[in-house]
Amino acid sequence: MSTQEQILEELTTTDYKYGFVTDIEQDNAPKGLTEDTVRFISAKKEEPEWMLEWRLKAFRDWQKMTEPTWANVHYPKVDFQDIIYYSAPKQKISLDSLDDVDPELLKTFEKLGISLDEQKRLSGVAVDIVFDSVSVKTTFQETLKQKGIIFCSMSEAIREHGELVKKYIGSVVPQKDNFYAGLNSAVFSDGSFCYIPKGVRCPMELSTYFRINSAGSGQFERTLLIADEGSYVSYLEGCTAPQRDENQLHAAVVELIALDNAEIKYSTVQNWYPGDKEGKGGIYNFVTKRGICKGNYSKISWTQVETGSAITWKYPSCILAGDNSIGEFYSVAVTNNMQQADTGTKMIHIGKNTKSRIVSKGISAGRSQNSYRGLVKVHRKAENARNFSQCDSLLMGDQCGAHTFPYLEISNNSSKVEHEATTSKIGEDLLFYFQQRGIDEETAVSMIVNGFCKEVMDNLPMEFAVEARKLLAISLEGSVG
Amino acid sequence: MLQIKNLHASISSDSGAKEILKGLSLEVNAGEVHAIMGPNGTGKSTLAAVLTGKEGYDITEGTVEFEGKNLMDLSPEERAQQGLFLAFQYPVEIPGVSNANFLKAAVNEIRKSKGMDNIPPNEFLKLMREKMELVEMSKDFISRFVNHGYSGGEKKRNEIFQMAMLDPKLAILDETDSGLDIDALRIVANGVNKLRTKENAFVVITHYQRLLDYIIPDFVHVMYDGKIVKSGDKDLALELEEKGYDWIKELSNVEI
Ligand SMILES: Nc1ncnc2c1ncn2[C@@H]1O[C@H](COP(=O)(O)OP(=O)(O)OP(=O)(O)O)[C@@H](O)[C@H]1O
Ligand SMILES: [Mg+2]
C-alpha cells in the first residue's frame, strides 16, 4: 500500500465518539413481541382505548407482512422476538426542575453536547430529548405555548391533544404502509409531536435528540408534525447510540402535514453507531419518513446528513397533493468501513404546477456501499409538474461502491423531469495536485468533501451546519480542524 | 539551486520494476531558464514527478539537492512550500473547489510553513486580480471550480496563473505550450517572462522550438532514454527542429 493510500485509510477509520453507555436503572418490557407487548406499552403510556386499538390493528396487519428485500443492503435476518420493545429510565423526570434528574443522565447529555438547562441552551432552539423509549424532557414549552405552538413528546400529545393526534396519525404513513412502518405503528414508544397554528411562524428551531442506550432494545419513535395554514417551522433531529457488538434496530416513522401556504423544513443529522471497522455491531436504521403538501402553495423540504448506522434504509418523501406545492430533498450520505446505505426519496406529483427538487450527494469510503434510490412520479392530473434531480457520488479509494437507481413514472405529458448524475473519485492524482500546491492530504480531503456537499450543507439551519460539517470531518478525516 | 546527480528512478508496476530515469544529471542555478526536449516516452514527465515527490517511484541511485537540502527527504507538500512548482502536463479537475478557495489554501499553507499569518482577504483578492491580468484570464474564473470543465488551453493558462500566485523559486513547466493557440502561447510566455527574476529559475519541458522563440532559454537539454544526452544553448533547439531526433538516438547508441 502506498503512503497516500495509508493516510487515506487512516483518515477514514476514526473512532466513534458517542459510543459510551449510561449506567442507569431501566424499566424494560420482557423480550419479544406479542399482543401483550403492545398492550404493555400502551398501558405504560396511559393511552386511551382508541390508541391501543390502532396499535393492535397495526400489529395484526404487520404479522401478515414480510420484510422488504429490494434494497441494495445485505445483513443477517433480524430476530424480532429477540428485541426489547420498551425500555425507559426508571426514575420519572420532572419537567420543572433538573435537580431531581439522575446525575448519570445529565452527564450523558453533557457528553453528547446537549444541555437540558434552558439557560444554557442555544437560545434559538427548543429541544425534545428521547432516551430509549421515552421523552425525558422538552425545553421551552412555555415560550412556545404563548404562540399557540404545541411541542411535546408523542406520549403527552396522545394524552393531552388526542383529537389532533387521532386526526393525523397514520394519515401520511398508514399502518400497513410497509413492514417497518407496520412494526412501528404497533410498538412505537415515544417521539415528538408538534402543531403550529394558523399563520404562526415558529420563533425558534425545534429539535429532537434521540439516544439509544439500553442493550438489546430497539428504538421505535414516531414523530408527527402539523403545520396549519400559513405557518412555518424548521425542525431538526439528531441521534446517537452506544458502541456495541450487536446490531440494534431503529425503526422510526415521521409524518409531516403542511396545509395551505404552510412550510416545513425538516433536517436530520443522523449519527447512529455505524459498527466497527470490520462491520461488527451498529444500528439498523429502517425508517419511513413522509410528508404531505396537503394545501395549495405548501412546501416541505427534507435535508439530511447521514453519517452513522450499519445499515440505512430510508427515503424521506413528499406527496405533492396541493396545487403549486413544492417538495425538496437535500441529502448527504456518508458510508465508511463496512457501512451500507440505501437512501433517497420519492416525489409524488398529484396537484397542478407542483415542483420538486432532489439533490443527493453520496460519499463512499472504506469497503462501504452507498446507493441512491429515488422515484419521481407524476400523476395523470398533475399538469405542469416540474422535477429536477441531481445525484452525485464521490468515491474515496477503490474498495467502495456507489450506485444510483432513479425511477420515473410519468403519466402527464405536460411535465418536465430532468436528471443529472456524476461520479468522481478522490484518487492519488487529485490529492497529489493539492500537495504540489503545498496543501496536505487531510486538508485536501476536507476541501473536496466540503465542496462536494456544499449545496446540501447550505440548507441546514446555521446552528447545525457547523456541527454537521464537523461530523463529516470526523467520519471521514480524523481531526481536521 | 537544484543539483541532480546520476539519478536513477524506476516505476513499480504489476509486471515488476521498470527503470525510467537512467543516470540523469542536471544543475539549475538561480536566474536561469533550462529547456528540456526529447522524444515521447523518454522520461521528461517522470523527472518532474520524481522531483515533486509523486508516489510510485523508487529512487535506486543518485542524489537530488534543492537549496542545499536533500529533496527526497521532503513530503510533496513540503517541497511545494519550499518553492518547487510544477505546471502539470495534464492538470486535474477539482469539482466543488473554487480557484479562490484552492489558491487561498495554497497561499496560506505556504505562508504557514514560513511562520507567517494567513493572508488578509482583501490583499488576497488584490493579488488574484493582479495575476489574472498577467495571464489575461477573465474574472469569472475566481469563483469557477479548479479546471472543472475548462478547455485544454484554459487549463494550461490556469497552471501559469497558479504559478504566478505562488511565486515559486523553481518552476517546472511540463509541456505547458501544447494545446495552446498562438495568442495563448504568447500570453503564457509573456507571463513567464514577467515572472523571471535573478532569484528564480525555470525548467521548461517542450516539444516545440517555437515556445523558445518567446521564452529564451539559457540552456537546452535533449533527453533520451532516461538521461540527458546532449546540452547546448538555444541553437540546439533550432538544430533539433531541423534534423529531428534520429541523430540524437544514434548519438546515445554510440555512447552506450
Ligand atoms: N505508471 C506507469 N507504468 C508503466 N510505465 C510507465 C508509467 N508511467 C510512465 N511510464 C513509462 O515511462 C516512460 C516515460 O514516460 P514519461 O511520461 O516520463 O515520458 P515523457 O518524456 O514525458 O513523454 P511525452 O513527451 O510523451 O510527454 C514511458 O515509456 C511511459 O510509458
Ligand atoms: Mg510528458
What is the ipTM for the molecules in this complex? Answer: 0.95
Q: Are A458 and A452 in contact (CB under 8 A)?
A: no
Among A49-58, A253-262, A450-459, name the one with the lowest average pLDDT: A450-459
Whether residue B13 has its Cβ less than 6 Å from ligand 1? yes
Q: What is the pLDDT of residues A369-394, one digit of tens each?
A: 899 999 999 999 999 999 999 999 99
For residue B128, report the phi and psi dihedrals to the nearest 5 degrees. -60, -50
Residues in chain A: 481
Q: Residue ranges of the alpha helices (H) in A313-353?
A: none
| A194 pLDDT above the threshold of 50 | yes
Q: Residue B226 Cα, ligand 2 centroid: separation in angstroms? A: 12
Which of the ligands is closest to the CA of residue B222? Answer: 1
CA quadruple A206, A214, A287, A141: dihedral, nearest 10:
-20
Give the distance, in angstroms, between the CA of residue A5 and the centroid of all CA atoms in the same chain: 32
Residue nearest to atom 28 of ligand 1 (CA): B41
pLDDT given for residue A7 in this prediction: 45
Q: Residue A123 Cα, ligand 1 centroid: separation in angstroms? A: 61
Residue nearest to atom 18 of ligand 1 (CA): B43
pLDDT given for residue A258 in this prediction: 98
Q: What is the pLDDT of residues A127-169, one digit of tens each?
A: 677 666 566 666 677 788 899 999 988 988 999 999 999 999 9
The whole-chain average pLDDT of chain B stands at 91
pLDDT given for residue A299 in this prediction: 98
Which of A368 and A92 is assigned the larger pLDDT?
A368
Largest CA distance in chain B: 60
Over residues B120-137, mean pLDDT? 92
Confidence label for A277 from pLDDT (cuts 50, 70 and 90): confident
Which of B146 and A71 is assigned the larger pLDDT?
B146
| A279 pLDDT above the threshold of 90 | no
Which of A95 and A389 is assigned the larger pLDDT?
A389
Q: Are A177 and A170 in contact (CB under 8 A)?
A: no
Confidence label for B249 from pLDDT (cuts 50, 70 and 90): confident
Question: Hey, where are the domains in chain B?
Answer: 2-252
C-alpha span between B180 and B172 (Å, rounded): 17
The CATH code that applies to domain B2-252 is: 3.40.50.300
For testing contact with chain A, the best of B54, B71, B77 (most A CBs within 10 A): B77
Q: Are A429 and A396 in contact (CB under 8 A)?
A: no
Q: Which of B22, B1, B20 is nearest to B10 (CA)?
A: B20
Among A244-248, A283-287, B106-110, name the one with the lowest average pLDDT: A244-248
| A339 pLDDT above the threshold of 60 | yes
Q: What is the pLDDT of residues B169-225, one digit of tens each?
A: 999 999 998 888 888 899 889 989 999 999 999 999 998 888 888 999 999 999 999
- Judged by DSSP in three states, A277 sits in coil
Chain B residues in contact with A472 by the CB 8 A cut-off are none
Burial B30-55 (b: 16+ CB within 10 A, else e): eebbbbbbbbeebbbbbbbbbbbbbb
pLDDT given for residue A133 in this prediction: 58
Which of A87 and A406 is assigned the larger pLDDT?
A406
